[in-house]
Structure 1
Amino acid sequence: MMNSIYALISVVIVSIISVIAAIPLFYKKKVSQKLLLFLLSISVGVLLSTVFMTLLPEAMEEGYSLGIAINILFGFLVMFVLEKFVHWHHSTKHEHDDCGHGHAYNLAPVNLIGDAIHNFIDGLVIAGSFAVDVTVGITTSISIIFHELPQEIADFGVLLYSGYSKKKAMLFNFISATTAILGTVVGILLADTAFHFEKFILPFAAGTFLYISATNLLPQLHRHCKLKETFQHMLAIILGILIVLLLTIYGPAHLH
């Protein structure tokens, strides 16, 4: 029962932070690229270390099974299909709309749908993680926060580019973020059933985190190849790893 409450508190915090992340765009047209790259780099470290230090060890606590591998791949493919859907819709609109920024306005609905589904999945993952262990839940929530920060800033930018006012963009961003809460509620209900929801969601989450790291975040960092930038990215990735390492060693589940 307490873990369910922790999950709900956690997802509310994640949702609030996701919305707050877009506030700088109220006052500036762009957010510092250095800041975004710093957040992306930390996200890589946090996501990958969460996969290998937290999610997979918990998923394989009773030993390896083929089901674990299938669920990892399923998580990876779900994110692939979701991203393909968004990109396909963008490219289709771009090909068929010839009137100025007509296609830009059409980016908003599909972007919001994709983001809402993504947030719902995040909510499921948070619920499943807390069902296993408080430390796993906290670590997973922090991972989600770090990859949501740059993502929400980018999504808010898409809404502004699509012609939405700043207030309207913030409202829709907030509505999209709240689907994570719905996902957590559904996840809590599923975790209480007999089919061991957490045994599915942990490797599934590992697959989604691997996809985000490998296809979304790392390629962005590879576009900036100067020695100084690479060194800064490496330090930020290591910082992300240390955050998860410290949580894994000194988290609530390990304190007696």
Structure 2
Amino acid sequence: MIKKKYIQNKTESDPKDPSLLASELGLKFNKPSYLEIAFIHSSFRNENPEYKEDNERLEFLGDSVLGLVVAKYLYRTNPSASEGELSRKKATLVSTAMLNGLSEKLGLTSYVLLGKGEGQGGAQKKLGANLFESLVGAIYLDQGMEAAEKFILEHLIEYIKNSDKVKEATDYKSILQEICQKKFRLLPSYRLIKETGPDHEKTFYVSVSIRDKHSAEGKGKNKKFAEQDAAKQLLKALKIKV
């Protein structure tokens, strides 16, 4: 059992005990330490060396479990969907925006131990999503795949069904990445080619390539949009329907 230490954060005067969350969600851990580690951020462990573990490994594990469960769910519920359609749906369901929304609904960030300098900043944009993944990893280690699958389907899938904010905006980069990992066992490489136009109305041009054998170019009002367009063009060149 980990000796808990709570610090001030932005949502409560002190983070809540994760065991309260487990009770609210109907979870009973055989090893409560898994649950506790799921809510120890690396920034907190760095400032408190007596803590030997943080949630990054659980997050890594939970990400894989989540991906498998969602892929299985989509395969079963979309019998006529193509590989591209399934990849697109999966990318939406496991996106940072989706998991952040679910994490907010469950109130996960009110249980996390954060370092003093982590209350704000860009890294915290993924905090909720990361916590959901680490919690999934903790459930999997403690109770196995069946329990983890039940938790994911009960909360993520139901959240999606009942959310008015869910929009299946196609994430071409995620689709291309998943296909590249499966078919080529590597990640696509993006490169900024040039920027044109005045500062207030720039156009960015980006190239994407796979092993220098397949490539395409895209453009957009910022680098992010240009990368999405490049990924879209490469998917078209590879004759992959999305």
Q: Is the TM value for this pair above 0.5?
A: no
Query: Of the two structures, which has the highest relative contact order with CA contacts closer than 8 Å and spacing of 6 or more?
Result: 1
Q: Which has the higher strand share?
A: 2
Q: TM-score, normalised by structure 1?
A: 0.29
Q: TM-score, normalised by structure 2?
A: 0.30
Q: Which has the higher helix share?
A: 1
